[in-house]
Structure 1
Amino acid sequence: MSPQKRINTFRVRVNLVLCTIIFCNACAYLFVNMRAFQLLAIGSAVLPAVALAPKQLISAPRRSTAVPNPSGEVALFSTGQYSFESHESSTTWNLIDLKSGKISELTDDSNVSEIIWLGSSNSELLYINSTNADIPGGVELWISDTADFNNFRYKAASLSASLSGLKTATTKTGDINFLVYGQSYGNGTAYNDKLAVKPLSTARIYDSIYPRHWDTWLTTTFNAVFSGTLELKKSGQWATSRYVSRGALKNLVSTVKNLESPYPPYGDSTDYDISPDGKWVAFKSKAPELPRANNTASYIYFVPHDGSKNPEAINGPDSPGTPEGVKGDSSGPVFSPDSEQLAYFQMTDIAYESDRRTLYVYTIDSKETIPALAKNWDRSPSAAKWTTDGKGLILNTEDRARNRLFILPSDAGDDFVPRNFTDSGSVSSYYNLPNGEILVSGSAMWTSRIIYTATPEKGVTNVVFSANEVDPALNGMSSADVDEFYYEGNWTEIHSWIIYPQNFDTSKTYPLLFYIHGGPQGSWADSWSTRWNYKVWADQGYVVVAPNPTGSTGFGDKLTDMITNNWGSYPYDDLVKCWEYVRDNFDFIDTDNGVAAGASYGGFMINWIQGNPLGRKFKALVSHDGTFVADAKISTEELWFIEHDFNGTFWGDRDNYRRWDPSAPEHILQMDTPQLIIHSDLDFRLPISEGLSLFNVLQMRGVPSRLLNFPDENHWVTNQENSLVWHQQVLGWINKYSGIGASNSNAVSLDETIVPVVDYNP
C-alpha cells in the first residue's frame, strides 16, 4: 500500500476507533446513541467549515468543567468570553440538563467568582462574591438557589481577604465546614493587599536560596489553607460559625514553620481536601526542612478541620507509615467516601519533577506502611477520585498523547494494570453520578469543551455537549481534522500527530509546520489550547506535524527518562527522522517550504536546530522562551531541574551543561535561517537574558531575526490583547518566509502589526 493510501486508510481507522468508545469491551461494545456517534466520530457535519483565526480563537467562549448536582440531573459550569470591541471579559454561570443537553443561564453577575452545590441539596448553591461591602479587598460567602439565583440569595459570611478554592463538607448537625485558600502572614492572619501597609523602600533582601519562583519574587507572605464553618440556624439559613468571627478564619498551615499550601505556581484547590464528614483536612506542602530550590520533596499533611492540633505529615521522613525510599513530590490528596482513608500520589525521586506518580492509600490513624496501588504500572496519573462505594478509584492518566480515565480497585497489587474506559481527547475533570455513571468534562484538538457520561463497563454512554456544535469559531471542526502516525526514531518507535487545514485536499500540497513541544518531559496531546492551538496554525494553510520524541510523557517511563543528559541527541535524532519520514511519505506536505516552532524546551530545540543541519531544512523558525547559553542555566530558580536533567551540579559537571549548548561557536557559525525570538520579562525559569543573547547573536551574524518581548507575561502569554499580538507576529513571521500569504486569504501578515516596530538600523 502506498504512503498516501496508508494515511487515508489510517484516517478512516482513527475515526472508527473514536466511535468504539461508546461500546463495552473490546470485542462486543454496544451502540448507545446516534448523537454520541456523530459527535465523537465526525464532530459537527452540519455547520460549514470556517478557518480558525487568532482573534476568533481568543474571543471564543471558554467554559469551565461541569459539576453535577447531587441527583445528577443538572450540572453547573461557567463561560468566560473576551470582547475585542469593548476590550473586556465577561462571565456567565450556566446550568446544563444532563439528559437533554439544554443550557440555561443562572447568572451574569460579574462578582460571582466560584459556585458549588451546597451539601446534599439539588438546588441550593454556595458561592464566593469577589467583593466585600465592609472590608476592602475581602470577599463574601453567599447562598442562593437555582430556582431564582438573584432573588433567593443571602450573605452567610464576610471574609477579610481575597480567598478562593472553596470546598465544603456537611456535618452530622447540618453545619457546613468549608475550606478556602489565600495569602497569609507569618502570624497566621490572612494577607489583604488592599489593607497592607506599603513599605517606603522597594528593596528586597534574601538570606536563603530561592529568592524568586516562576514569575514572582518571594516575600514574607505565603499560601495557606483556611477553615471555617457555616452553622445551620433555626431559621433554616446558614451563617458564620462561633469560632469564626467576622472572617477571622482558622489558618491550618501557618502553625508549622515553612509550610505552604497550595504550592505555587501550579497549586490550587486540588492540593487540599476535606473529609466527607467534615472532621479532617489533608493538604500538600513542600518539605519544610529542605532547601526549596534543590529538591521536589513534598508531603501530605493531616489536620483537624477546627485546627485543634498542628498538622502532621503522614509520609514525611519521620512518619511511621512512610514507604521506604519514596522521597519525591506528593500531590492530589482525596478522602474516601467513608472518611476513613486518604489516597494521594507521590514520586520516588527527590529531584525529578517528571518522575512517575504512584498512588498510595493511607488509613486514618494507621501506623503501618502506606501501601502503593499498581506500583509497577508504567503510567503517571494526575488525579484520582474514589468510586461511590469506596471500593475503587478512577484515575485521570496521560496515555499515548491523550488523557484517559482508568479504573483501579482499592486493593490492587503491584502488578495490576488498570483499564481505560475513555479513549479520545483529554479529560479535564470528572464526577460520580448517583446512577453509577461518571460525568466527564474534557476537550480535544477539534473542540474546546466536550461534556459526556461514561462508565467503566460501557465506556462513553452519552455526549451531552460539544463546543464545536454551538460556537461559530469552531464551525465544521471535527476529529477528521486530525490523524496520527508512528515512525522509527533514534532507538524506538515514535508517535506523531498530523493536523490538517480547512478544506484539506490530498491532491494539493501544503507547507510543513513542524511543532516541537516543551517540557522537556511533556507531550503534544489530543486537547484544546488557547495558546499553541494546532488548528489555528494549520488553518493558515499548513499541515501541522507534532511529534512526541524522546522525553515525551504518556508512553512509558523509558521514553520520558531517556532525555536526561541527552537534550540534543536522541530527541534531535527523532525529529530529524520525523522530518525525513514526512518528506518521504506524505505527497501533500511541502517540506521544501516548511517552518518550525517550539516553546520552552521546544524553544531550546529550535535554537539547537538553528545551529545544526536540520535548521537548513526550514524557511523560518520561531522559538518561544528557549534556553540559548548553556552556562546561563544556573540563573534559573528550580535548581533541582537542571541538576537532574544534566546529571550533576553546575560546578562539578559543567561539561554536561555545555554538551548541548546552542551558543557554542560551531553552532553559531551554522546559523542562517530567519528566526523570531519571543521572551517575556516575568519568565524567571528561563530569564529574558536568554532571548536577548540569541537575538544579539543572530543580529550580529546578519541572520534575519526579530525579538518579541512582553514585560508583563511569564512563561506563557495569557493576556488576550498580548495573545493577539503574539499570534499576529508568530503567524505573520512564518507566513512571510513560507510564502503562504500569497496563496491563502486567511493568512496573517506581518503588515497587520498593531504594535510599532522599533528599528534603529541605518
Structure 2
Amino acid sequence: NGVYALENKQIYLSKDAGKTWSEFYNIGDVDNIVISPDGKKIAFSKAVHIENLLGKDKYKDLPKTTAQIYTDLNHRHWDAFNEGSYNHVFTVDLSQTVDQAKDLLEGKTFDSPQKPFGGTEDFVWSPDSSELLYVTKAKSGAAYAQSTNTDIFAYNVVSGKTQNLSEGMMGYDVNPKFSPDGKYLLWNSMERDGFEADKNDIIVMDWNSKSKTNLTKAWDESLSGDVAWSSDAKSIYFTSAFRGTKQLFSVDLKNKTVKQITKGDFDINEIVLENKGKLWVTKTDINHNADLFEVDSKGSLKQITDINKDNYSKLVQGKSELKMVKTTDGKEMGVWFHYPPNFDPNKKYPTLVYCQGGPQSALTQFFSTRWN
C-alpha cells in the first residue's frame, strides 16, 4: 500500500518511499490509527464522553464547579481521574467521512485501547480486512477495578457481528498478532482473573478452525516483553525476564520447544524486524540507553546504531555484577551490585539499597530516566 504519514489531522500516502506524497484521508482529531491491509478501511480510537462524573457536566447551572462525583469504582487509574470519557475503537470505510465511522463500543463504559497504557497493539485487522480485532475488559464499576479479565473480540465489518475469541479464558488476554501467512493468531494470556502478575503465556489460534494452543504452558518462565512472528510463521520470538536480565527466546510452533537465543548482562527489549534470517532488536544495560543490534540464530550480537557514542566517551562508567544471596527460607535471590565509577575495593562507600516493586516486573538491566 505504500507509506502513510499523519500531519495536521490529514493522512498522506507515499508510494515511492517518501519522495512524493498525496492526500489519503482527512481523519480529524483521533488517536491510534491503523489502516486495513487492503487499504480501504481505517480503524482508530477516540475518547467518547458517556458518564457525567464532573460537577460541571452533571449540573449545568454550576459551570465553574471543580467537584468530581463518584458512587462506584473505578474513580482513578494510574495518574488520571475518570472524568466520564472512555477510549472507543472506530472503523470507517474510505468512501465515508470520519463522522460516519462505526463506534464498536457505542454507549458502553469500556475502554479500547485499555487505560492507562494501551495503544495500537490493542486492535488489529485480519489479513483479509474483513474483521477488526480489539482488546477490552467488558466490565464496569467495582467489577472492572477488581478484574484483569480482558478479552479479544473480532468485529466483522460485513455482517456487523462480534465474536469473543478468548471466551472462557478468565485472565489477561492482550496483544493479538497475525502470522505473516494469515493462518494463525497469537496473543499474550494470563490464566487467572485478578492476578496482575500471573504467568504470561503465548496462545496461538488456528484462524480457520479457531482451535487454541498454549505454546508455553510447559515452560517454567513467563513472557515479559515483546513478541513477534518469524517470517516463515514456523516459530515465534519473544523476550522474557531471566536471571536478572531480559533475554530473547523462540518457541517452535509445531513441537512447542522453547529456545534461549541470547545470554549476557543486558536486556533485549523490542523485536524490531527480521532481516535475512537475523533479528534486529533494541538492547540496553544499566549504563547504556537503547540501540539497535542484529542477532543471529546463535545469539551473537552486532551493534547497528551507537547514538550516544560521543556522550559515552566523556563518561567513566561503573560496572554492575549479579550475585546470588541466600534468603531466610533457604533459597537464592539475585541481587545486582552497581559500583561507582573508579571503584576501589579498599575504600568504603555509602550504600543505597533499592528494593524493586512488583511482582509485575523484574529488576533487570533496563536503562531508565524515571525517578525509580
Instruction: Answer whether TM exceeds 0.5 for this pair.
Output: yes
Q: What TM-score bracket applies, with the shorter chain setting the length?
A: 0.7 to 0.9
Q: Distance in 2 between matches of 1:431 and 1:410?
A: 20
Q: Distance in 1 between matches of 2:36 and 2:264?
A: 33
Say if 1:300 and 1:330, in contact at 8 Å, map to a contact too.
yes
Residue type of the alignment partner of 2:95 = R
**Secondary structure of 1:490 counterpart:** coil
Say if 1:374 and 1:417, in contact at 8 Å, map to a contact too.
yes
Q: Distance in 2 between matches of 1:527 and 1:248?
A: 43
1:143 is the counterpart of 2:13: yes
Q: Distance in 1 between matches of 2:130 and 2:152?
A: 16
When residues 366 and 401 of structure 1 are mapped into structure 2, their CA distance, relative to the original with a 3 A threshold, is same
> What count of residue pairs does the alignment treat as equivalent?
360
Residue type of the alignment partner of 1:153 = W
> Deviation at 1:391?
1.0
Name which one, 1 or 2, has greater alpha-carbon Rg: 1
For 1:275, the equivalent position in structure 2 comes to 126
Q: How does 1:1-40 map to 2 (within 5 A)?
A: none
Residue type of the alignment partner of 2:303 = V
When residues 204 and 429 of structure 1 are mapped into structure 2, their CA distance, relative to the original with a 3 A threshold, is same
> Deviation at 1:440?
0.6
Of 193, 203, 207, the residue aligned with 1:350 is 193
Q: Distance in 2 between matches of 1:405 and 1:426?
A: 9
For 2:72, the equivalent position in structure 1 comes to 208
> Deviation at 1:468?
4.1
Q: Distance in 2 between matches of 1:476 and 1:342?
A: 46
For 2:320, the equivalent position in structure 1 comes to 482
Greater RCO, CA 8 A, separation 6+: 1
1:158 is the counterpart of 2:11: no
> Deviation at 1:272?
2.1
> Deviation at 1:477?
5.7
**Secondary structure of 1:227 counterpart:** strand
When residues 147 and 267 of structure 1 are mapped into structure 2, their CA distance, relative to the original with a 3 A threshold, is closer
Q: Distance in 1 between matches of 2:17 and 2:189?
A: 43
1:302 is the counterpart of 2:154: yes
Q: Distance in 2 between matches of 1:463 and 1:449?
A: 11
The unaligned stretches of length 5 or more in structure 1 are: 1-118, 132-138, 188-196, 230-240, 318-325, 533-598, 600-762
> Of Structure 1 and Structure 2, which has the larger fraction of its residues in strand?
2
Q: Distance in 2 between matches of 1:184 and 1:339?
A: 32
When residues 251 and 473 of structure 1 are mapped into structure 2, their CA distance, relative to the original with a 3 A threshold, is farther
When residues 523 and 374 of structure 1 are mapped into structure 2, their CA distance, relative to the original with a 3 A threshold, is closer
Say if 1:225 and 1:261, in contact at 8 Å, map to a contact too.
yes
What's the TM-score once normalised by structure 2's chain length?
Answer: 0.85
> Deviation at 1:418?
3.4
**CA deviations over 1:400-439 (Å, ceiling 9, x no partner):** 22222111111344xx443233544222321333412111
Say if 2:37 and 2:125, in contact at 8 Å, map to a contact too.
no
Q: Distance in 2 between matches of 1:360 and 1:452?
A: 28
When residues 435 and 522 of structure 1 are mapped into structure 2, their CA distance, relative to the original with a 3 A threshold, is closer
**Secondary structure of 1:291 counterpart:** helix
Residue type of the alignment partner of 2:12 = W
Of 507, 511, 523, the residue aligned with 2:350 is 511
The unaligned stretches of length 5 or more in structure 2 are: 52-59
**CA deviations over 1:228-261 (Å, ceiling 9, x no partner):** 45xxxxxxxxxxx103x1x236345314834321
For 2:4, the equivalent position in structure 1 comes to 126
Residue type of the alignment partner of 1:158 = N
Say if 1:297 and 1:327, in contact at 8 Å, map to a contact too.
yes
**Secondary structure of 1:511 counterpart:** coil
For 2:298, the equivalent position in structure 1 comes to 458
For 1:524, the equivalent position in structure 2 comes to 363
Say if 2:273 and 2:281, in contact at 8 Å, map to a contact too.
no
When residues 506 and 299 of structure 1 are mapped into structure 2, their CA distance, relative to the original with a 3 A threshold, is same
Of 230, 249, 264, the residue aligned with 1:406 is 249
> Of Structure 1 and Structure 2, which has the larger fraction of its residues in helix?
1
Say if 1:272 and 1:283, in contact at 8 Å, map to a contact too.
yes
1:242 is the counterpart of 2:95: yes
| Percent pairwise identity | 22
For 1:329, the equivalent position in structure 2 comes to 172
Say if 1:332 and 1:383, in contact at 8 Å, map to a contact too.
no
When residues 400 and 169 of structure 1 are mapped into structure 2, their CA distance, relative to the original with a 3 A threshold, is farther
Residue type of the alignment partner of 2:155 = V
> Deviation at 1:495?
0.6
Of 441, 445, 456, the residue aligned with 2:286 is 445
**CA deviations over 1:656-712 (Å, ceiling 9, x no partner):** xxxxxxxxxxxxxxxxxxxxxxxxxxxxxxxxxxxxxxxxxxxxxxxxxxxxxxxxx
**Secondary structure of 1:248 counterpart:** helix
Aligned-residue CA RMSD in angstroms?
2.9
Q: Distance in 2 between matches of 1:264 and 1:167?
A: 18
**Secondary structure of 1:156 counterpart:** strand
Say if 1:335 and 1:341, in contact at 8 Å, map to a contact too.
yes
Q: Distance in 1 between matches of 2:61 and 2:173?
A: 36
Say if 2:267 and 2:365, in contact at 8 Å, map to a contact too.
yes
Residue type of the alignment partner of 1:126 = Y
Q: How does 1:197-596 map to 2 (within 5 A)?
A: 200=63, 201-228=65-92, 241-243=94-96, 245=97, 247-248=98-99, 250-251=101-102, 253-255=104-106, 257-288=108-139, 291-304=143-156, 306=157, 308-317=159-168, 326-366=169-209, 368=211, 370-381=212-223, 382-413=225-256, 416-421=257-262, 423-455=264-296, 457-470=297-310, 472=311, 475-476=314-315, 481-491=319-329, 492-532=331-371
When residues 454 and 242 of structure 1 are mapped into structure 2, their CA distance, relative to the original with a 3 A threshold, is same
> Deviation at 1:207?
4.1
Q: Distance in 2 between matches of 1:146 and 1:468?
A: 31
**CA deviations over 1:437-473 (Å, ceiling 9, x no partner):** 1111232211112211113x22134210134423x26
When residues 313 and 330 of structure 1 are mapped into structure 2, their CA distance, relative to the original with a 3 A threshold, is same
When residues 493 and 531 of structure 1 are mapped into structure 2, their CA distance, relative to the original with a 3 A threshold, is same
Q: How does 1:685-700 map to 2 (within 5 A)?
A: none
**CA deviations over 1:454-508 (Å, ceiling 9, x no partner):** 13x22134210134423x2674466x62211111112211111111222223333
For 1:652, the equivalent position in structure 2 comes to none
Say if 2:92 and 2:102, in contact at 8 Å, map to a contact too.
no
Q: Distance in 2 between matches of 1:371 and 1:250?
A: 35
